[in-house]
Amino acid sequence: MAWSTRELAELAGTTVNTIRHYHRLGLLDEPERRYNGYKQYGVQDLVCLLRIRRLADLGVPLSQIGDVRASGESDPELLRELDAELDATIRRLQRARADIGAVLRERAPADSPAGFASVATGLSEADRSIIHITAQLYDEDALDDVRKMVEAAKGDDLSGEIDRLPADADDRTRQLLADRLAPTLAQHMHDYPWLVDPASHLSKSPEVTARTFIESMVELYNPAQLDVFGRAGLQAHELLRESREPGKSDG
C-alpha cells in the first residue's frame, strides 16, 4: 500500500503542511518517491506519523518527541511535568469559564478585573484600570480584601461624584468630598491593616509597587481627584490614630 502526502494526512487526521513540518524537524523520514517524483508513504510511515501525533496530543514538545521515540520507553519525569502543566491549564480554563459566566450573568464589561464582575458596571474606567494594576502588585489575599471594599461601596454615589469631579474643582468642593471619603478609608485601614503596612502582601518589590502605583494614579486621575485622595488619606490616618488612643472607641 502506498499513499500520497495528502492521503497520508487524511488518514492521520492532520494536514500536508504538518507532515512537511515533521520532515523538516527530522521526526518523520522522507519516503521513497514514485517514478513521477511524488512521495509514496507506506504503513510504517503512517504508524510513525500516528505515534508522533499521539505524543504531540499528550503535550510533548516537538523538540523532545525525537528523543522520546528514540528511547522506546516512557520518561516518567517528562510525563509528570506534562501532567502538572495540563493540571494548571485545566484550572486556568475553569477559572476562565467561571469568569465568563459571571460577566454574562452581571452583564459586565468583558475585560472586567477577575472577580469584580458583580460591581464592574458601577466602577469608573479609572477605577477598573487601577484594580487591574493592583492585581499585578499585590497577592490574592489582598485582592480579596479589595473586592470586599468595592462591594461595600456598591450603590454609594461618592465614587461617582469623585469620578465626575473636574480638574479645576474649587477648594471647598474638594474638601467636602475628602471629608466624606476619609471615614470610609479609616474604616478600611482598621479592617484591613495591610493597607497601612502592605509589605507582606506585595507580589512585586516595594520600590516597583510604589513607583507603579504612583505613576498609575497620576495618569488615571485628574489633579482635583488626586487632591481629594490625598486629603482624605491624611484625615483617615488621623481618624485611625485617634480611634486607637486610650479611652476612645476602637472602630
Position 169 in a domain: yes
Position 141 in a domain: yes
**Comparison of pLDDT for 122 and 99, the residue scoring more:** 99
Q: Are 145 and 234 members of one domain?
A: yes
Q: Are 126 and 233 members of one domain?
A: yes
**Comparison of pLDDT for 204 and 154, the residue scoring more:** 204
Percentage with pLDDT > 90 across the chain: 70
Q: Are 130 and 204 members of one domain?
A: yes
Phi and psi at 121, nearest 5°, equal -65, -20
For 15-29, 74-88, 125-139, which range has the lowest pLDDT when averaged over its residues? 74-88
Position 94 in a domain: no
**Average pLDDT of the segment spanning 11-20:** 95
CA atoms within 13 A on the CB side of 154: 12
**Comparison of pLDDT for 96 and 154, the residue scoring more:** 96
Q: Are 66 and 128 members of one domain?
A: no
Q: Are 128 and 209 members of one domain?
A: yes
Domain hosting 42: range is 5-71
| Number of domains within the chain | 2
CA–CA distance, 85 with 105 (Å, rounded to integer): 30
Q: Are 53 and 153 members of one domain?
A: no
Position 93 in a domain: no
Q: Are 142 and 237 members of one domain?
A: yes
19 pLDDT above the threshold of 70: yes
Position 144 in a domain: yes
- pLDDT tens digits for range 62-72: 998 888 887 66
Position 18 in a domain: yes
- Taking a C-beta distance cutoff of 8 angstroms, is the pair 161, 142 a contact? no
Burial class (CB in 10 A: 0-12, 13-18, 19+), 63: exposed
18 pLDDT above the threshold of 90: yes
pTM exceeds 0.85 for this model: no
- pLDDT tens digits for range 108-121: 888 888 888 888 88
235 pLDDT above the threshold of 80: yes
Q: Are 63 and 130 members of one domain?
A: no
SS3 track for 200-226: HHECCCHHHHHHHHHHHHHHHCCHHHH
**Average pLDDT of the segment spanning 236-249:** 82
Instruction: Indicate the SS3 state at residue 138.
Output: strand
Phi and psi at 158, nearest 5°, equal -60, -45
CA–CA distance, 135 with 17 (Å, rounded to integer): 41
What's the pLDDT band for 250 if we cut at 50, 70, 90?
very low
| Alpha carbon distance, N-terminus to C-terminus of the chain | 84
- Give me the pLDDT at residue 75, please: 72
- Taking a C-beta distance cutoff of 8 angstroms, is the pair 123, 154 a contact? no
CA–CA distance, 49 with 42 (Å, rounded to integer): 11
53 pLDDT above the threshold of 60: yes
Q: Are 158 and 229 members of one domain?
A: yes
198 pLDDT above the threshold of 60: yes
- pLDDT tens digits for range 160-178: 999 999 999 999 999 999 9
- pLDDT tens digits for range 72-106: 666 788 888 889 999 999 999 999 999 999 999 98
- Taking a C-beta distance cutoff of 8 angstroms, is the pair 203, 150 a contact? no
CA–CA distance, 60 with 74 (Å, rounded to integer): 12
Nearest to 234 by CA among 170, 199, 185: 185
Mean pLDDT of the chain: 91
- Give me the pLDDT at residue 221, please: 97
Q: Are 126 and 229 members of one domain?
A: yes
Q: What CATH number does residue 58 fall under?
A: 1.10.1660.10
Percentage with pLDDT > 70 across the chain: 96
Cβ contacts of residue 241 below 8 Å, gap of 6+? none
Q: Are 127 and 239 members of one domain?
A: yes
- Give me the pLDDT at residue 73, please: 65
Burial class (CB in 10 A: 0-12, 13-18, 19+), 217: middle
Q: Are 128 and 55 members of one domain?
A: no
249 pLDDT above the threshold of 60: no
